Amino acid sequence: MTLTVNDKARSVEVASNETLLETLRRLGAVEVKCGCEKGDCGACAVLLDGMAVDSCLTLTGTVGDRPVTTVKGLGDSDMPHPLQTAFSDRGAAQCGYCTPGMIIAAQSMLTNDTADPDESDIRLALSGNLCRCTGYTKIYDAVLDGARAMRTAETTHAEGVCPETVAAPRMEAVK
């Protein structure tokens, strides 16, 4: 089958019981974390056609031609996504294991539910993501900052002015 990951088509052979998590890891997507493998932690979250899903619960064969986006597909160290910048600026990652899934869940909320969330919106959107290090406050603050930056960028682009890109410090993926 052909699987489109981060805008790149990949030809893969998959078993009928192979999860998207297993396939992505086999393809080298180390930013997709293997946490609980039961859909409880959210560390393996990816965007499937723009919606956050736990890749450990999604069979690869059911993906079809829908695009898959990992946190790496949102932005990189040269051009980070506003949520990635906000997580770095706010110190919202300690061990970093949950961070990719948190950013994916936040991105899904911001594009599909509300672009101007309050803390209760964020708590609901991230309720399927567990963090054992931060206590969540910095994560919620980072999502608020990222949402604000995304709204500002949209307004700026709508007015015909492109903002300069500021690179955030690189946050290495944990294998």
* pLDDT digit string, tens, across residues 1-44: 999 999 999 999 999 999 999 999 999 999 999 999 999 999 99
The answer to whether the CB of 102 falls within 8 A of the CB of 42 is yes
- Comparing 10-14, 88-92, 112-116, 161-165, which segment has the lowest mean pLDDT? 161-165
Q: Are strands 51-54 and 2-5 parallel, antiparallel or unpaired?
A: unpaired
- Say yes or no: domain 2-70 is CATH 3.40.50.1100: no
- Comparing 9-18, 38-47, 49-58, 127-136, which segment has the lowest mean pLDDT? 127-136
Whether pTM > 0.85 for this model: the answer is yes
126 vs 77, more confident: 126
Is pLDDT at 120 greater than 60 in this prediction? yes
Assign domain 74-158 to its CATH superfamily: [2Fe-2S]-binding domain (1.10.150.120)
Please give the biggest Cα pair distance in the chain.
49
